Structure formats: structure tokens, C-alpha cells
Amino acid sequence: MQKTGPTLTETLTAGEGRYAIVAARWHAEIMDALIAGARQTLGSRGADESQAEVLRVPGSFELPLACEQAALSGKYVAVIALGVVIQGETPHNEYINMAVANGLMQAGQKSGIPVLFGLLTCRTMEQALDRAGGKVGNKGEEAALAAIEMVNLLRSIKGN
């Protein structure tokens, strides 16, 4: 259940077409919860199993290229990027997070397919757990719901 962000109409459905869930491998426990959340939301909005395809990348830095290629492939109506970056002793997280944000934005604009930002950018593991089915909800669910909203919006803009 979505706990933060604006409420979306209950009637919005996934419709036809496949959704790519592109997921980094770092921080497996949190990633499993985000992927499950995204799948669950797609299912609760009418998508069957075959409409959700999970593609794995080594780390979050690899999300933009994989998402761009998925979006350009013509196989998907939307691409949901999921990853978790935890701040460490060096500022690697800042470089990764900015690259991913910029890269995902570009992938969406270049392809014309919604590319959703489901990247947790956390200071601590606790913050990440809170956002992967904990007290701040599940950002995988929210990214999937945003994907469904964008698919419906683009269909209405294009008149189909």
C-alpha cells in the first residue's frame, strides 16, 4: 500500500503491454523487497505474471544504460529502475546517484517510454529498510504505480 506521495485513482489499471523492472544486485535483501513491491503493484492493477519482466544489472550505476536499451527495444510500455545506494566513507554515492538520475531522465526522453526512478539514495541501511516495506512504505510499489500512471497518461495524450 502506498504510504507517501499523492493518492492515485483506484481505477487506474496496468492495461496491456509488458513492464520491465530493471534491478541492481547490490543490497539483495532490500532489492528483493523493492522488486516484490513493484510486482505486487502491477498485479494488483491487473497485470498478469507475463507482463512483468525483471532484468538484473550489477549495480545502480548500470541502470541507465540497461533502462535506455529496454526502453528503446519496443518490448515494454514502461521501464521501472530499482536500486539502493547507501552512503559510505567516500562520496561514491553522490556520483552514482547523480549519474543514475540524469541517465534515467535521458533514457525516458530519448525513448518516449516512461522510465521510472526507483532508486533509494540513503545515508543508512535503516533508511533503506524503512523504504523497502518498512515505516516509509515501499518505493518499488510507488515506482510501479507511477509507471502505470505514466502509461495511462501517454495513452491519453496520444489518443489510444
Q: Which residues are annotated as catalytic?
A: 92
CA distance 123 to 106: 26
Q: Which 69-128 positions form the footprint of ligand RBF (CB under 6 A)?
A: 83-86, 88, 92, 96
CB-CB contact of 119 with 81 (8 Å): yes
Residue type, 92: H
Count the residues of the shown chain that bind ligand RBF, applying the rule CB under 6 A.
Answer: 14
Nearer to ligand RBF, 34 or 77 (CB): 34
- Say whether 18 sits in a helix, a strand or coil: strand
Nearer to ligand RBF, 96 or 147 (CB): 96
Q: Judged by CB under 6 A, which of 14, 20, 35, 60 binds ligand RBF?
A: 60
CA distance 145 to 142: 5
Nearer to ligand RBF, 24 or 129 (CB): 24
Residue 138 in contact with ligand RBF, rule: CB under 6 A:
no
CA distance 29 to 56: 14
What residues does 119 pair with on adjacent strands?
83
Q: Which of these segments, 2-10, 41-49, 52-60, 138-146, binds ligand RBF (CB under 6 A)?
A: 52-60
Minimum gap (Å) between residue 48 Cβ and ligand RBF? 29
CA distance 75 to 11: 25
User: Which stretches of the chain bind ligand RBF, using CB under 6 A?
Assistant: 24, 26, 58-62, 83-86, 88, 92, 96
